[in-house]
Amino acid sequence: MDAMAGRKPAVVWALNISVVLLVALWLFPTLGLLISSFRTGDQITASGWWSSLFPAEQTMQIRVADPDDNRVDLGNGRFMVEGNIFEGADFEGELNAWGTSSRRLGEFETGVTADLGDGETLTVEADGSYVWEGDDDQISGRAQRVFLDVVTPPDFTLENYSFVLFDENNSEGMAKAFFNTLTVVIPATIIPILIAAFAAYALAWMDFPGRAILIAVIVGLLVVPLQLALIPLLSLHNAIGIGKGYLGVWLAHTGFGLPLAIYLLRNYMVGLPRDIIENAKVDGATDFQIFTKIILPLSFPALASFAIFQFLWTWNDLLVALVFLIDASGQTTVMTKQIVELLGTRGGDWEILATSAFVSIAVPLAVFFAMQKYLVRGLLAGSVK
């Protein structure tokens, strides 16, 4: 191709650039969320997530140990305080240089003995150990201040996750909501696919009166907004005793997902070669056998792509869950609802929000990456043979 065309046409470049832009547009916020979820609240407010990936240079101001308590008499009127400057401070990193005045930061290399005047000396080693020496007057009163130039490595913590997922005292944790969401999503994905596959086969390959009208009705149902049905459906659920609960939300998701599922699957199945199905009929297969042995295996890309769609939007659903599932007890809350509540109660705690958000997008991400080839194939289904 290259040899023939010589140069790539401009449109190819435009395509490549826009793909890169789209990928970046998607990647950076996701990555930011992921990284933020591993940082403490202080780190998030202090610097952006991108800077946390690299070692940070900073200046620390620390006093050496209190001379009145710690000084050692060396004789001849000389006294000394010895210790580690990082003692008691939670610090990991590398000490590059130090100084004793805020005006002259990094004045001394590590290991150098600095003359502080009148025979007073201070030595700070690279590992933070120091020796402060002087006469009685100098080594007393307030401890010497040291300004340290340090480089801290990237620092991440799993604490947010353990708080959000595993802390039993945390009433706003995501663990329960996570499993509630799974409880909603898995049946709400499988049930409509089961029903729709049968319906799609019948609408595609079985002859019965009124088939065309039924298909038209299903296409019509595609454009009915689900908000329209919320209240009537809820009162129906209450009237027949389902009330609010998992069964209700499964039924609701199934109902709202079915028109699209039937439509997609029927369009795919009707494109399967007629000869294959006729041959199976001549071979003596019943309609049910044709469906299970021939149609279902051949329709796998379409089934998978619809499964992904249904999974993703029931996972992200808030409205249907609010109407049909979540009651006053709060025991059946789902993740979307939980995050809405977190925004209210913990609006400032970005680390909690980021972690909770990432917990809620982790499963869709995994599903998407595992199944993306079926998603693309299923979207193209019917348009390309």
Partner 1 sequence: MSGVTLNKVIKRYGDVQVIHGVDLEIADGEFCVFVGPSGCGKSTLLRMVAGLEETTEGAMHIGDRDVTRMDPSQRGVAMVFQTYALYPHMTVKDNMGFGLKMNGHPKSEIEEKVAEATRILKLEPYLDRKPAALSGGQRQRVSIGRAIVRGPEVFLFDEPLSNLDAELRVEMRVEIARLHKEIGATMIYVTHDQVEAMTLADKIVVLRLGVIEQVGAPMDLYRDPDNKFVAGFIGSPAMNFVNGSAKDGAVVAPGLAASYEGMINAAYEGKALSVGARPEHITINPAGDTHTVEMTESLGGVSFAYLAGATGERIVVEERGDVRSEEGAKVGIEIDASRIYLFDAETEMRIRT
Is-contact 144 166, C-beta < 8 A?
Answer: no
Range 29-33, long-range pairs (CB < 8 A, 24+ positions): 30/361, 30/365, 33/354, 33/357, 33/358, 33/361
CB of 212 to partner 1, least distance (A): 15
Single residue of 51, 279, 345, 372 touching partner 1 by CB under 8 A:
279
Q: Which residues contact 112 (CB under 8 A, 6 or more apart)?
A: 123
Is-contact 58 150, C-beta < 8 A?
Answer: yes
Show contacts with partner 1 in window 295-334 (CB under 8 A).
297-298
Is-contact 320 252, C-beta < 8 A?
Answer: yes
Single residue of 60, 285, 304, 379 touching partner 1 by CB under 8 A:
285
Single residue of 87, 109, 127, 283 touching partner 1 by CB under 8 A:
283
Quote the CA–CA distance of 237 and 252 in Å, as a whole number.
10
Q: Which stretch binds partner 1 (CB under 8 A): 237-245, 272-280, 305-313, 328-336?
A: 272-280
User: In terms of CB distance, is 191 or 290 closer to partner 1?
Assistant: 290
CB of 295 to partner 1, least distance (A): 11
CB of 375 to partner 1, least distance (A): 20
If binding is defined by CB under 8 A, does position 273 make contact with partner 1?
Answer: yes
If binding is defined by CB under 8 A, does position 124 make contact with partner 1?
Answer: no
Is-contact 157 40, C-beta < 8 A?
Answer: yes
Single residue of 115, 137, 278, 327 touching partner 1 by CB under 8 A:
278
If binding is defined by CB under 8 A, does position 292 make contact with partner 1?
Answer: no
Quote the CA–CA distance of 81 and 130 in Å, as a whole number.
8
User: In terms of CB distance, is 127 or 278 closer to partner 1?
Assistant: 278
Instruction: Give 257-285 as a DSSP string.
Output: HHHHHHHHHHHHHHTS-HHHHHHHHHTT-
Q: What does the binding site for partner 1 look like in residue numbers (CB under 8 A)?
A: 273, 275-276, 278-286, 289, 293-294, 297-298
